A and B are shown apart, each in its own frame.
Chain A
Amino acid sequence: MFVRDVVGVFESQEMLTDRQVVVISGGSRGLGQALVTACLQHDYVVATCSRSTTPFIEELLTQDPARQTFMWESVDCTDYARVQQFTTEIVQCYGRIDVLINNAGIGVDGLLPLMRQSDIEQSIHLNIAGTIFLTRACSRAMLQQQSGCIINISSVNAIRGQAGIAVYSATKAALDGLTRSLAKELGPKNIRINSVAPGYFESTMVGHLTEAQKHRIMRRTPLGRLGTVDDITNLVLFLLSPQAAFVTGQIIAVDGGLTC
């Protein structure tokens, strides 16, 4: 029977890992790099993507050419077909997708009346459409398993407005809406979705701020400092762990109390 032959190809595929598989978009630098590192250190299998490699990615590829615990692919998340290919490849390689961390995103500063159409569209396409494309693809794998965890990296700027980043704020607020609706939609199949909204933390995205601006932010922050990458990754690791099994649909700010 043809079907048995064909279906058997997929059913007999060995699960190459019994570890949880975490997909991270934009894992080549910055917070994404930190998330990849943290997940690998906690014995997760990590599949990440970005448009191009970095020395960080190249080193991981050199250490694990057989993709036993790490995979990287060049993916433009706004390319729907490529995103589908990427997730198919992950499932073919590891047999499962347990966690998706939607980290890829860009922030283009500027007053809206002066922004270029291309910058507006790029922000919307990557931060919203790209995130939704990857979430759709990964959620299909999670539906088959009837379990999963999706974490959207949002921003405190989705919670509180800030001049000069209206488009970025809009895209991050869109992710929070996605989080809430998807939590209701996929919850019955044991798939949790949460947003992590980082405040200002030491990263390239605040690298353009002057020292005076940074000090002003710290004065407004009850805990009196900028965040660190570890502050963000620690919350992400909690949310994807069994300890967060009853947490879904939440937008959790990691901002030292800035928005409280």
Chain B
Amino acid sequence: MLNAKLTSQAIEQVIHEEILHILDEREEWIPDIANDARLHADLGLGSLDLAQLVSVLEMKLRADPFEHLVAITEIRTVGDLCQAYQRLLVGETNESTTRDILRAGQTRAQARRARRQA
């Protein structure tokens, strides 16, 4: 039973390791997982890979922030993922609250629309 308080850094480390594990299964090597790396666009992780990742993290961290706290559809980057778990387990994030995660998502969506219109 999980009874040790995790630090934000520890949570981030677990998440980075599990992402590397999935990429390693594909024999793809990425030297560092940056928090601003986009899960799909930069790391090539599809929705099923994300489901696998969330399942593994549920086992490792005994937590699922997407059940009630954060919508999985708002997760775009490694940092978004880390913040979701940090918010649930630590009660704070390195950068911002869930509202800021949503705001960042909206900003990215606006940027995509602007690029399409350009």
Q: Can you pick out 9 interface pairs between chain A and chain B where the beta carbons lie within 8 Å of each other?
A: A3-B11, A6-B6, A9-B2, A10-B59, A140-B54, A140-B58, A143-B48, A144-B56, A186-B48
- Which of chain B's residues have a CB closer than 8 A to the CB of A3? 6-7, 10-11, 13-14
Chain B interface, DSSP helix/strand/loop, else mixed: helix
Contact B4 A143 (CB under 8 A): no
One of B13, B14, B55 near A140 (C-beta < 8 A): B55
CB of B116 closer than 8 Å to a CB of A: no
Interface of A is mostly: helix
Name the residue on A nearest B60 (C-beta): A7
A242 beta carbon closer than 8 Å to chain B: no
B14 (CB) vs chain A CBs: closest residue:
A3
Distance (Å) between the CB of A98 and the closest chain B CB?
15
Which residue of chain B has its CB nearest to the CB of A5? B4
Given A3-B14, A7-B60, A185-B48: A143 in contact with B2 (beta carbons within 8 A):
no
Which A residues, 116 to 155, have Cβ-Cβ distances below 8 Å to chain B?
A: 140-141, 143-144, 146
In the bound complex, CA of A2 to CA of B13 (Å): 11
Residue A220 interfacial (CB < 8 Å): no
From residue B17, how far is it (CB to closest CB) to chain A in Å?
Answer: 9
| B109 within 8 Å of A (CB atoms) | no
Residues of A within 8 A of B99 (CB): none
Interface centre among A7, A9, A185 (most CB of B within 10 A): A7
Type the 1/0 row for A1-25, where 1 means its CB is closer than 8 Å to any CB of B. 1110111011000000000000000
Q: Mark A46-73, 1 if CB is under 8 A from B, else 0.
A: 0000000000000000000000000000
Residues of A contacting B54 in the complex (Cβ-Cβ under 8 angstroms)? 140
The interface residues of chain B lying within 8 Å CB-to-CB of A140 are 51, 54-55, 58
Q: How far is the CA of A91 from the CA of B10 in the complex (A)?
A: 24
A2 and B5 contacting across the interface, CB-CB below 8 Å: yes
